[in-house]
Amino acid sequence: MRTRVGAVPFTVVSHLLAIAAAFMVLVWCIHFRGGLAFESTNKSLIFNIHPVLMLIGFIILGGEAIISYKAIPLSKEVKKVIHLTLHFIALILGIVGIYAAFKFHNESSIANLYSLHSWLGIGVICLYGIQWIFGFLMFFYPSGVAAIRVQSLPWHVLFGLFVYILALATAILGFMEKLTFLETGGLAKYGTEAFLVNFTAIITILFGGFIVLTAVSPAPVEDDFSYSRI
């Protein structure tokens, strides 16, 4: 039987990088930053929810949703449900993560939406929500018109990758913004925490890169359920 490895190696690397990124952001926010809490006299614990949910929920689960068509050896319909569900969970966690950032700012008397990171973050979450609603109505809702689905599919895939890459760029800006805050707060410029934040950002970039590579790479010849056939 003729076969082709295609996206398989990229999916494996993506999963490993996802585990590494999730572990590193948890170490950062729990070990170095003191933990996570929605209610606390230490307002930094409220903010810590933001990077954890945005990275693990929005970036990692969102990335896994993108590659679900090539990473899971199941039927097309099952993959469609997994794809939609993972994106929905990522969207909800992203919204909660943004809420945590606003809550931290409001309770700490810090102005909201003062940085490029925050502006892009609001834009990305809105575009992500629009993309999810469009995907649900067009490719999952039973009354979707087949002819329109075929014509809109390439644009859905392309726009999805664009939004995801924009989300990655926004996350990296967030790491840079927080690292600048840490340095001005008295930490050694090249201290352990600064190294951890930098390496987390690098792992996040690599993860996003392999997500994109997986999405655009060919599926195995015998697999009729590639991401390009959402």
Domain range list for the chain: 22-229
Q: What is the pLDDT of residue 66?
A: 95
Q: Which residue, among 128, 134, 138, has the nearest Cα to 161 in the 3D structure? A: 128
Comparing 85-89, 104-108, 118-122, 191-195, the range with the smallest average pLDDT is: 191-195
Determine what percent of the chain is predicted with pLDDT higher than 90.
69
Residue predicted with more confidence, 125 or 3: 125
Considering only the top CATH level, what class is 22-229? mainly alpha
CB-count exposure of residue 160 (10 Å: 0-12, 13-18, 19+): buried
Which among 61, 137, 47 has a CA at the least distance from the CA of 94?
Answer: 61
- Residue 113 to residue 208: CA distance in whole angstroms: 25
- Give the closest residue to 53 by CA, choosing from 120, 104, 100, 88: 100
| Structure-model confidence comparison of residues 181 and 54, the more confident one | 54
92-113: average pLDDT: 96
Is residue 195's pLDDT more than 70? yes
Q: pLDDT at residue 40 above 60?
A: yes
Of 4-8, 187-191, 207-211, give the range with the top mean pLDDT: 207-211
Q: What is the pLDDT of residue 53?
A: 98
- pLDDT attached to residue 222: 46
Q: Output the pLDDT for position 54.
A: 98
Average pLDDT of the segment spanning 119-132: 97
Its pTM stands at 0.89
Is the pLDDT reported for residue 104 higher than 60? Answer: yes
Q: Of 223 and 129, which is predicted with more confidence? A: 129
Dump pLDDT digits (tens) for 200-222. 999 999 999 999 999 998 765 54
All residues at 6 or more sequence positions from 9 whose CB lies less than 8 Å from its CB, including other chains: none
pLDDT grade for 71, boundaries at 50, 70 and 90: confident
Structure tokens at 112: 């909201």
17-21, 82-86, 114-118, 219-223: range with lowest mean pLDDT: 219-223
Q: Is pLDDT of 85 > 90?
A: yes
Q: How confident is the model at residue 77 (pLDDT cuts 50, 70, 90)?
A: confident
pLDDT for the residue 78: 92
